[in-house]
Structure 1
């Protein structure tokens, strides 16, 4: 089956230079922020960050403790493992966690140095290591022959690619489907972050040096981040979202996750993201049905990166939301959850037929 395409127009980079700007900002724009936050907000009472599962600690290959939570019945016929993005934590899957409850087992984990997982050696802040971490999570939470769908947002999608690169035997044998959201298989160093190309060429070389400098002054920067909450809200809304009607509560929730990620962690992972290149592993992902979701206004991983992935996969569904940014799981959660439901419906008959054969 060839790749299918869905382009969704709905009326209506929280990394690198963007993350550095959030980290170093001081409070401004209070009037504008207040006006946005005071408008009617249907998500105002949503319990962001409060959904919890059965907690366990998984030891990574280097001994680092990874915080993992499991929802749903142990005897479920299918498990979905969610990997979050750079500077975020497992709570970024809030809507999917809420809306997919039922017969599925769902596994959520905080990537190393993020959320409630342990802080590790800066030299281990690599995509290859996060792929190995995902392997450890799978071994600890999923029965040997239990079918699995892997879902990754941004850096989480890269972790899935690293897993495919290092453990290709899992795909088709146990991993029966993959969903890649706002992610890339390489060429990250060419990003413009939405800047004019001429300006981007000036800014790009400065970003690693700027972040390293901020990481060395972590205590000072963290104090500034606390003082700059209003400007951080504005920057997050501008860089992460494209929908002008996005819930202020959702923007605030995302900004809080970013602010909770230490600036030195942001600095440590940034070079790994820019060096990411997993084009060669796409053949492994091509063994299973894949859902690829993109935001048409994504500044961090532009939609062209998702199209490139989908074009390389023989059984991919590409969904592009034209008026969306880099955090589809929060900005257009129904699109993400609906896509996952379709992926589940696609893979279930296949592995159930194999089990009864």
Structure 2
């Protein structure tokens, strides 16, 4: 039985439509939340192994803002891009083309691995008036507070890609391992939200196309971080960081903020790498404040 979604009452008030668009020879599934005539549109890019559902708690708190939320290639309802390695160059090119086709000139938001994809795309020329990075990957994952666990994850994804197909797929989709990942990331003491977080990961964390795409995306996620792109992002940028993030410590996020020409850092206490699940209201409030003063140039 699915855990109750504590954000459903808000989300149910927001209109949503599913669409598809051709990008790079594949078909990208995406969802549009909010009013069609909103003053601000955000393209929201989810994190590694996730899909668009993961950002819905934040969307639920962004009343009046139009949010376009795609599934990354190879995840959720979006198939892999044919004939391509799913590395960072591919994801950045995909995002640039997707935004141009569906929401040109939109504000671009990325969470976790999505923050790297967004940073790479914007630094590479994706046109946007403002950038929002939630739980940005601001330092090498292997050097984070749980670098040992990251190295175990490297071995896990390597084994999943190298073992016989059936065994590798079973390992990568193993429910106990997914739950262990979820437990290690959750910081909230609210039992209802913890149940919701674990249910979300149980339900959506294994909706990847195949182990090759998953391995490619994992390598991209641990081989890059936002620092390498920050100096080339001239747009006003909002960083929403967690003070208890086990992937990028808050000290690294503070250093990251200084690398952008124009960045604001908002720190959220008592949460880790799951801001989008555990503290979506303060994240959305920061986003709303960031966009409000310059609404005229964030269409």
Q: TM-score, normalised by structure 2?
A: 0.84
Distance in 2 between residues matched to 1:122 and 1:273, nearest whole Å: 20
Distance in 2 between residues matched to 1:113 and 1:164, nearest whole Å: 21
* Aligned-partner SS, 1:259: coil
Distance in 2 between residues matched to 1:238 and 1:302, nearest whole Å: 18
Distance in 2 between residues matched to 1:100 and 1:185, nearest whole Å: 25
Distance in 1 between residues matched to 2:245 and 2:91, nearest whole Å: 23
Residue 130 of structure 1 corresponds to 91
Mean CA deviation greater in 238-247 or 176-185 = 238-247
Shift of 1:341: 0.8
The question of 1:245 aligning with 2:193 is answered: no
Choose 1 or 2 for highest CA Rg: 1
Maintained 8 Å contact 1:298/1:326: yes
Q: TM-score, normalised by structure 1?
A: 0.71
Match of 2:157 among 211, 214, 227: 211
Residue 267 of structure 1 corresponds to 215
Root-mean-square deviation over aligned CA pairs: 3.2
Maintained 8 Å contact 1:58/1:136: no
* Aligned-partner SS, 1:93: helix
Gap change, CA 1:345 and 1:205, over 3 Å in 2: closer
Maintained 8 Å contact 2:178/2:205: no
Residue 34 of structure 1 corresponds to none
Q: How does 1:245-324 map to 2 (within 5 A)?
A: 245=190, 247=193, 248-261=195-208, 262-285=210-233, 287-324=234-271
Maintained 8 Å contact 1:183/1:305: no
Residue 178 of structure 1 corresponds to 131
Q: How does 1:82-101 map to 2 (within 5 A)?
A: 82-101=44-63
Maintained 8 Å contact 1:53/1:71: yes
Deviations 1:235-280 (A, max 9, x none): 1343221122251123211332213335443322121122215534
Distance in 2 between residues matched to 1:48 and 1:67, nearest whole Å: 23
Shift of 1:204: 5.8
Distance in 2 between residues matched to 1:161 and 1:298, nearest whole Å: 19
Gap change, CA 1:304 and 1:65, over 3 Å in 2: farther
Match of 1:54 among 2, 17, 20: 17
Shift of 1:183: 1.6
Distance in 1 between residues matched to 2:152 and 2:170, nearest whole Å: 23
Deviations 1:173-194 (A, max 9, x none): xx2221111122452332352x
Match of 1:64 among 18, 26, 31: 26
The question of 1:188 aligning with 2:134 is answered: no
Deviations 1:265-316 (A, max 9, x none): 332212112221553432332x332211112222223323322221223432
The question of 1:162 aligning with 2:120 is answered: yes
Residue 30 of structure 1 corresponds to none
Distance in 2 between residues matched to 1:54 and 1:90, nearest whole Å: 12
Mean CA deviation greater in 177-186 or 323-332 = 177-186
Shift of 1:42: 7.2
* Aligned-partner SS, 2:31: strand
Higher relative contact order (CA 8 A, sep 6+): 1
Gap change, CA 1:241 and 1:122, over 3 Å in 2: farther
Q: How does 1:69-80 map to 2 (within 5 A)?
A: 69-80=31-42
Match of 1:236 among 171, 177, 181: 181
Uncovered stretches (5+) of structure 1, i.e. residues with no partner: 1-36
Distance in 1 between residues matched to 2:138 and 2:176, nearest whole Å: 34
Distance in 2 between residues matched to 1:231 and 1:185, nearest whole Å: 26
Uncovered stretches (5+) of structure 2, i.e. residues with no partner: none
Shift of 1:206: 5.8
